[in-house]
Chains A and B, each alone.
Chain A
Amino acid sequence: DTEVTQTPKHLVMGMTNKKSLKCEQHMGHRAMYWYKQKAKKPPELMFVYSYEKLSINESVPSRFSPECPNSSLLNLHLHALQPEDSALYLCASSQVDLGVTEAFFGQGTRLTVV
């Protein structure tokens, strides 16, 4: 199993809503990532979890709240978002070992904030 599964695939939410994005992998990877990708732009790192602990936060606004409940799951809780937060949100995972370990990406959640 080399899949990273993200749900939902599409999400439309109002600026006062609370929603969550989910990501799951069963490859035994101990690093998991959230990236944000605007249209026609490269992905930009938001958060990294390593061994279920937050290791990198790229100065992301607090209206985005990540959670890693176990080694297979990664959530991104959304609250009071702005229309400019509309984007493709990509989850990825990788091993945390010496050597070249590529990141495996999910298909993303297309988020629209109205």
Chain B
Amino acid sequence: AQTVTQSQPEMSVQEAETVTLSCTYDTSENNYYLFWYKQPPSRQMILVIRQEAYKQQNATENRFSVNFQKAAKSFSLKISDSQLGDTAMYFCAFRKSNFGNEKLTFGTGTRLTIIP
């Protein structure tokens, strides 16, 4: 079974600063996918960024980037130039296999607060 660990229950940072959220996972799979989802107070889970395990290049999406270390089984999220709208719960998630109907295993989440 896969496990996903987020060791930072809460974080806060000043607006415009950079923040890094940590995630580690445990799996015996070689092919898998990792995701960061954001859940604001509106409750909807929104995909922030995704990473294929077979790709060595770290994924980036505008102000969001990841540091994927496959050997260390680490998948951290960096948010640059943080904005008030980034305030949310952030979940790291793992999915094995190549098909989209596999389950997502979520970490326990990090509550991020951006301070004006």
Given A107-B44, A108-B43, A108-B44, CB of A101 within 8 Å of CB of B103? no
Contact of B33 among A30, A100, A110 (CB under 8 A): A100
Give the shortest distance, in Å, between B96 (CB) and chain A (any CB). 12
Judge whether A74 is part of the interface by a CB distance below 8 angstroms: no
We find that the number of chain A residues with CB closer than 8 angstroms to chain B is 33
Contact between A43 and B106, CB atoms less than 8 A apart: yes
Contact A48 B103 (CB under 8 A): yes
Q: Which residues of B contact A101 (CB under 8 A)?
A: 100
Task: Give the docked Cα–Cα distance between A15 and B106 (Å).
Answer: 30
Residue numbers in B under 8 Å from A43 (CB-CB) = 45, 91, 104, 106
- Per the bound structure, the CA–CA distance linking A106 and B39 in Å amounts to 11
Size of the chain B interface, CB-CB below 8 angstroms:
22
- In the complex, which of the residues A42, A50, A90, A107 contacts B109, with contact meaning CB atoms closer than 8 Å? A42
For the complex formed, measure the closest distance between the CB of A84 and the CB atoms of chain B, giving whole angstroms. 19
**With A98-B98, A108-B43 in contact, is A45–B104 under 8 Å at CB?**
yes
B101 & A96 in contact (Cβ 8 Å cutoff): yes
Task: Encode B78-116 as 1/0 by CB contact (under 8 A) with A.
Answer: 000000000000010000001111011011110000000
Which among B42, B52, B91, B98 has the greatest number of chain A C-beta atoms within 10 A? B98
B35 at the interface (CB under 8 A from A): yes
* 0/1 string, A2-26, CB within 8 A of B gives 1: 0000000000000000000000000
Q: Closest 9 CB pairs between A and B?
A: A101-B100, A42-B106, A31-B101, A105-B45, A94-B100, A50-B101, A107-B44, A45-B103, A96-B101
